[in-house]
Amino acid sequence: MESDILIIGSGPAGYTASIYAARAGRKTALIIGPQQGGQLMITSFIENYPGFADPISGPELMECMRKQAENVAVEMVQDTISAVDFSMSPLKCIGESGTEYCGRAVIIATGASAKWLGIPGESAYRGRGVSSCATCDGFFFKNKNVAVIGGGNTAVEEATYLTNFARSVTLIHRRDSLRAEKLMQRRFLDNPKINVLWNTTVTEIIGDGSRVTELLLRNVLDNSVSQVPIDGVFVAIGHRPATSIFAEKVAMDENGYIITQNGSQQTSVPGVFAAGDVCDPVYRQAATSVGQGCMAAMEVDRFLSINV
């Protein structure tokens, strides 16, 4: 199958890129991937995506984006890319179906997913007190007691952000020192709403059937266990970008995020661009992914005009 532009992934970045590319008059195919709509399909309510005065559910928002892409003649392909060959033009992507997709340019928008602890109660209470995004869900915890798990930049940033809403924020970290940047740590440790439980792991998230109510903790030094009442828990132990098929094909950082050139969505390979969480360990928002999808499509259009 041949197109001007192949877009891999159907989250906000992929759909936005496809809308801009198709409206620029380019033959555009979007390979949907394993989860149509991406991470937002498991997000209950979104209040920070502009244009919707009332909260909108993640699946509803993604359905709007999908329909908009279809309306501008993006070709939607139900397949998952399992291998790529970017060594020559046209660029090739091979689907699990066995189909070979060829494009003069490719936009990688395969996203990332939050790492989870895999402990009892975590998936049962996801969206009902368990979250992986303070920016998305912090607002729902006004005057509540919340916990953040992790010791990196994300955990420290999320815990600090949550103090804008919560009555108290308890950071639970498995070691006795933080991985987060020193300046961020100082601001965090000085915050009177924040309390840190060092050398502690969470072994179970307990609820009453509808909401999270308690955490079961274990001190890793003396193995003592304790139970703390809590209204919400934010798991901030890192994200995993969906980039395994691009290993050694495009440049990535040590965590597997695709590296894009400063101020652009261009990767290390001419004609290959990236947008959204797959190349963004910092912001990870639907709104920023949409912006990057737009940038990638405009840059691709310029690339195709120059490389006829």
Residue 120 C-beta: closest distance to ligand NDP, Å: 14
Stretch in the footprint of ligand NDP (CB under 6 A) among 32-40, 132-140, 147-155, 192-200? 147-155
Among 55, 90, 256, 281, binds ligand NDP (CB under 6 A): 281
Q: Would you tell me how many other CB atoms lie within 10 Å of the CB of residue 111?
A: 29
Which one of residues 18, 28, 43, 153 is an interface residue with ligand NDP (CB under 6 A)? 153
Q: Find the binder of ligand NDP among 29, 69, 117, 169 (CB under 6 A).
A: 117
Query: Where are the alpha helices (H) located in the chain, listed in sequence order?
Result: 12-23, 58-71, 134-137, 153-162, 182-189, 286-306
The residue annotated as part of the active site, out of 79, 93, 136, 231, is: 136
Contact 78, 66 (CB under 8 A): no
Instruction: Identify each DSSP E strand in 96-231 by its residue range.
Output: 100-108, 112-114, 130-131, 145-149, 168-172, 194-197, 200-207, 212-219, 225-229
By beta carbon distance, the residue nearest ligand NDP is 152
Pairing of strands 232-235, 75-77: unpaired
207 binds ligand NDP (CB under 6 A): no
How far apart CA 187 and CA 169 sit, in angstroms, is: 14
C-alpha–C-alpha distance, residues 262 and 163, integer Å = 32
- Closest approach, Cβ 4 to ligand NDP, in A, equals 34
Token digits of residue 192: 């009177």
Closer of 48 and 71 to ligand NDP (Cβ)? 48
d(CA 78, CA 229): 45
Measure the CA–CA gap between 15 and 238, rounded to whole angstroms: 25
64 counts as catalytic? no
**157 belongs to the binding site for ligand NDP (CB under 6 A):** yes
The first and second tokens of residue 265, run together, are 């969505």
| Options 15-23, 94-102, 174-182, 185-193: segment touching ligand NDP (CB under 6 A) | 174-182
Say whether residue 179 binds ligand NDP (CB under 6 A).
yes
Q: Is 237 in the site for ligand NDP (CB under 6 A)?
A: yes
154 part of the interface to ligand NDP, by CB under 6 A: yes
Q: Is 190 a catalytic residue?
A: no
133 is catalytic: yes
What residue ranges bind ligand NDP (CB under 6 A)? 117, 149-155, 157, 174-175, 179, 237-239, 281-282
Q: Active-site residue numbers? A: 133, 136-137
